[in-house]
Structure 1
Amino acid sequence: MKILMVAIPNHHFFQWVNQLKDSGHDIFWFDITDGGPQVERINWVTQIKGWKLKQDYPFRSTIKKQGPRLYKFLQKFNERDVTQVFKKTVNEIKPDIVHCFEMELSGLPIIDVMDKNDIPFVYSSWGSDMFFFEELGLNKIKVQQFLNRVNYLITDCKRDYELAKVNGFNSEFLGVFPGNGGLTIDVSKIKSVSDRNIILVKGYEDGVGKAIKILEALELLSDEIINNYQIIIYSADQSVSNYIKKSRKLNELHITIYPRNGFIDNQLILELMGKSVLHIASSISDGMPNALLEAMSMGSFPIQSNPGRVSEEIITHNKNGFLINNPSDHQEIASHIEKALGNKVLREEAQKINVNFINKHYNRAVLKFELIDLYKKINKAIKN
């Protein structure tokens, strides 16, 4: 079966695709953003890249950096239309199915092409694209048009299936699966609660992510509570780094920052999670956060926001983690941190619960066969 996948270049997408290696399918990837070179980690996939620019003219990168207005004007004449390129791609490949990952960036740009064919269309909902689409500025009528065209839906949480139905989806639901196709747990990297000395913070501050509220919470904690821990902030936006520089309290702490725009290997993040006493992440919108699943798999006690009540699908407050009721309330977050650090027994029990739960429900080795079966099911339906 020929499967044409449409997605941005993304770590979680690459992990999903690699679950299909040696499955017997011909996999094609249309890079909807046409960003960067061929991706070596999925080198077995036919990658459709280099389609966007008509000409890679001299000094293009310099103009883009130093004259963004001029660059934007020039690109109006130098960029190919994604609709036309994707239509040509579909006509050349003649895929048995098209599978898009995320709606705003990958689904809506191709919907006009998909509306003019009857190829089975699979959509994987990611992150905020169902829960927060109106706040992201998406047209509700266009979203409903998109969902009416989708033949098969995959979500990363139960909530988004219900939201999809409310917004026009009435076809087949294939189930809830993590957006990365599952986790591989390296138990050798999971430290005991007594050997953990890192507070790990996800550093998104982008309108949805609320990392600065976590920093404000850390500022409220007494030296006696916080000074014995190393604080590591990963995927930190520049505003987070700027806030830390201006904070006298935070400058006195042992803080390491990994910028969002810099590369950090996912294996390093997992290793840090395996040594972290807490993993703290807060946002006003999300699907099922992959970082939360990873932190739980490595035994880090989660303090996590609960937008749309997704996180409570896997966290029972005060049992295997703490749920942040109000992401804008730094005092609430500070209270959760203080309680978690002061309750070793709770953290030990949570570690056992979470590692076992993730291994049972999100084990990559098990999910591999379930994902392959999804495509077999679609293929069988096509033939019938």
Structure 2
Amino acid sequence: MKILLVSMNSIHFQRWTDQLKDSGHDLYWFHILDGGYSNKLPWVNQIVDWKQKYPNLKGRIFIKKKFPRLYKKLSFLIENDVKKIFEEKLKEIKPDLVHSFVLYISCTPILKVMQKYYDLPWIYSSWGSDLYYFKEIPKYKQDILKVLSRINYLFADCKRDTSLARNLGFKGGFLGVYPGGGGFNYKESDAYIRPISERKTILIKGYQGRSGKAIEVLKALEAISNELKNYNIIVFGGDEEVANYIVGQDLSKKLAVKTLLRKDFLPHNKILELMGEALIYIGNSNSDGMPNTLLEAIAQGAFPIQSNPGGASAEVIEHHENGLLIEDCNSIEEIKNHVLTVIENSELLERAFGINLNRVKPKFERALIKKQVLEAYKKVLKS
């Protein structure tokens, strides 16, 4: 079977695609945002460097950075049209199915082309905030409704989004609920897991901006700083706004806090090592789906305190059993009380550690997920 994947380049896309290696399928990847060849996927037929009409045009990057509005007006003279190039590749490859990852990045730009080829099966993978957040924005909701009326099959990273898709007009078939990057390979990361008695770190996902709420977490920890004197606070993937807040509030005088900025790029194995040493992991967002970092923290034995937009996190966390759910991501009081609950309850820590490592973690093992995903693709071919 020929599968044409449409996606930006990301670690989640690379991991998902890696599941299809040696599956007998011919894989093609249309890099929707353009970009160079990926050495991470050498066995995939990559459609890259397609965007620029004149790749060596002098001054193009300067104009794009300094005069973005002017560049946008002139872009039709400089850049190829994504719909035109995609349709050319579609005719050339003649795929058995098209699979797009993330609606507004990889579905909307090619929608008009896919509407012309209505008999060609089209799969859409919903990740993170894709439906839950953007359905509230009129401009994006229009795109969502149009895309879902054409899509034939759906993968989602949480059950919440399967219900959302139906409510938004999706009438196709569901292929399963799986992490955005497929399953996890635990062979290397298991070596980083430390016993509870050796853990003294509170690890915080440092996203702010549109959906992240890391500053609310820091405010909660600041409010109970006296109770946290024996703990190290590490903020990873920190946005500049979060780093500026820590400096501006002079939090280092109250908390033993360290910030690892997103722009500085932390190797993935280092993140897993931090999770394996963390007593508590806190992720706080107003719209995420099933965060890969949450699942990784669970697998590394960190006690999860996670926001629960639309009930997504409750699919893996049973409140007060194997973690704690933040129902109001803006509530400093709720987050503060959750942290106090954990550090004062060794029985809860031990119970959650056992449940997460023995019952939750195995459900997301890579070989298991890979087998299910490959069966889902076969289902599309047979239908």
CA shift in 2, pair 1:31/1:262, >3 Å:
farther
Q: How do 1:91-106 and structure 2 match up within 5 A? A: 91-106=91-106
Give the equivalent residue in structure 2 for 1:218: 221
CA positional deviation for 1:332: 1.2
| SS class of match (2:176) | strand
| SS class of match (1:146) | helix
Distance 2:34 2:228 in 1: 44
Residue-by-residue CA offset, 1:329-365 (whole Å, 9 max, x unaligned): 1121111112112222211210111122333311102
Q: Could you tell me which of 352, 355, 358 is aligned with 2:357?
A: 355
Is 2:222–2:254's contact at 8 Å kept on the other side of the alignment? no
Deviates more, 1:60-69 or 1:89-98: 60-69
Give the equivalent residue in structure 1 for 2:156: 155
Distance 1:213 1:136 in 2: 24
Is 2:207–2:238's contact at 8 Å kept on the other side of the alignment? yes
| SS class of match (1:212) | helix
CA shift in 2, pair 1:71/1:228, >3 Å:
farther
CA positional deviation for 1:63: 3.9
| SS class of match (2:263) | coil
Q: Does 1:204 align with 2:203?
A: no
Deviates more, 1:201-210 or 1:130-139: 130-139
Q: Does 1:271 align with 2:277?
A: no
Is 1:219–1:250's contact at 8 Å kept on the other side of the alignment? no
Amino acid at match of 1:181: G
Is 2:104–2:140's contact at 8 Å kept on the other side of the alignment? no
Is 2:104–2:143's contact at 8 Å kept on the other side of the alignment? no
Amino acid at match of 1:268: K
Is 1:174–1:374's contact at 8 Å kept on the other side of the alignment? yes
Is 1:158–1:176's contact at 8 Å kept on the other side of the alignment? yes
Q: Could you tell me which of 182, 185, 189 is aligned with 2:192?
A: 189
Amino acid at match of 1:4: L
Q: Could you tell me which of 251, 258, 261 is aligned with 2:260?
A: 258
Is 1:245–1:251's contact at 8 Å kept on the other side of the alignment? no
| SS class of match (2:222) | helix
Give the equivalent residue in structure 2 for 1:109: 109
Is 2:307–2:329's contact at 8 Å kept on the other side of the alignment? yes
Give the equivalent residue in structure 2 for 1:6: 6
CA shift in 2, pair 1:148/1:299, >3 Å:
same
Q: Could you tell me which of 230, 233, 236 is aligned with 1:231?
A: 233
| SS class of match (1:38) | coil
The number of residue pairs the alignment matches comes to 379
Distance 1:78 1:14 in 2: 29
Amino acid at match of 1:146: V
Distance 1:330 1:81 in 2: 47
Is 1:244–1:251's contact at 8 Å kept on the other side of the alignment? no
| SS class of match (1:261) | helix
- The two structures have a TM-score, normalised by structure 1, of 0.94
Distance 2:78 2:283 in 1: 40
CA positional deviation for 1:123: 0.9
Distance 1:61 1:135 in 2: 34
CA shift in 2, pair 1:300/1:63, >3 Å:
same
Distance 1:68 1:257 in 2: 32
Give the equivalent residue in structure 2 for 1:247: 249
CA shift in 2, pair 1:136/1:77, >3 Å:
farther
CA shift in 2, pair 1:113/1:190, >3 Å:
same
Residue-by-residue CA offset, 1:249-270 (whole Å, 9 max, x unaligned): 3454332222223322211111
Amino acid at match of 1:14: Q
Give the equivalent residue in structure 2 for 1:341: 343
CA positional deviation for 1:211: 0.9
Q: Does 1:324 align with 2:326?
A: yes
Distance 2:273 2:101 in 1: 27
Give the equivalent residue in structure 1 for 2:304: 302
| SS class of match (2:203) | strand
- The two structures have a TM-score, normalised by structure 2, of 0.94
Distance 1:329 1:105 in 2: 32
Give the equivalent residue in structure 2 for 1:167: 168
Amino acid at match of 1:152: Y
Give the equivalent residue in structure 1 for 2:54: 55
Is 1:127–1:286's contact at 8 Å kept on the other side of the alignment? yes
- Root-mean-square deviation (CA, aligned residues, Å) is 1.6
CA positional deviation for 1:304: 0.5
- Structure 2: runs of 5 or more not aligned: none
CA shift in 2, pair 1:149/1:67, >3 Å:
closer
Distance 1:90 1:39 in 2: 21
Distance 1:134 1:372 in 2: 30
CA positional deviation for 1:273: 0.6
Is 1:3–1:28's contact at 8 Å kept on the other side of the alignment? yes
Residue-by-residue CA offset, 1:219-264 (whole Å, 9 max, x unaligned): 10133x2222222111111111110110123454332222223322
Q: Does 1:374 align with 2:373?
A: no
Give the equivalent residue in structure 2 for 1:16: 16
Distance 1:112 1:329 in 2: 43
Q: How do 1:71-86 and structure 2 match up within 5 A? A: 71-86=71-86
Residue-by-residue CA offset, 1:69-108 (whole Å, 9 max, x unaligned): 4444443531221111111111111111000111111111
CA shift in 2, pair 1:255/1:136, >3 Å:
farther
Matched-pair identity in %: 45
Q: How do 1:63-74 and structure 2 match up within 5 A? A: 63-74=63-74
Distance 1:131 1:282 in 2: 15
Give the equivalent residue in structure 1 for 2:290: 288
